[in-house]
Amino acid sequence: FFDFSYSDSESADGQTQRSGTLEADITTKIIEIDENGNLEIEGRKQVKINGETQTIILSGVIRAEDVNFENEISSKRVASANVEYEGEGPIGDKQESGLLTKLFNFIF
């Protein structure tokens, strides 16, 4: 004889708040050159801040003529720009459900 019951309820108190300015120099590489000579680029940079690893990922399309003599380009010149900003660490961990909760939610 086996008897089991499970009920699911989650509540949480607390706040996380982030604010700031994202400013970074990111080295990118050319992924593809289209038929018009435009360059598809992608790059990533990891920075550790207050025990959290922050990852910035940039991708988009640039024109070769917009690259200056120092081999740099302003982000204002990146077409179809996609910027991702991810963080892993204590704050991100607190925002996730625990392993047992995830397991029970998967089963039931």
Q: Which pLDDT score is estimated for 67?
A: 93
| Rounded Cα distance, 45 and 55, in Å | 6
- Cβ neighbourhood burial of 81 (10 Å; 0-12, 13-18, 19+): middle
**Which parts of the chain have pLDDT scores under 70?**
1-20, 22, 89-108
| Rounded Cα distance, 71 and 89, in Å | 34
Q: Which pLDDT score is estimated for 89?
A: 65
Percent over 70 (pLDDT), the chain: 61
Q: Which pLDDT score is estimated for 36?
A: 93
Q: Which pLDDT score is estimated for 70?
A: 94
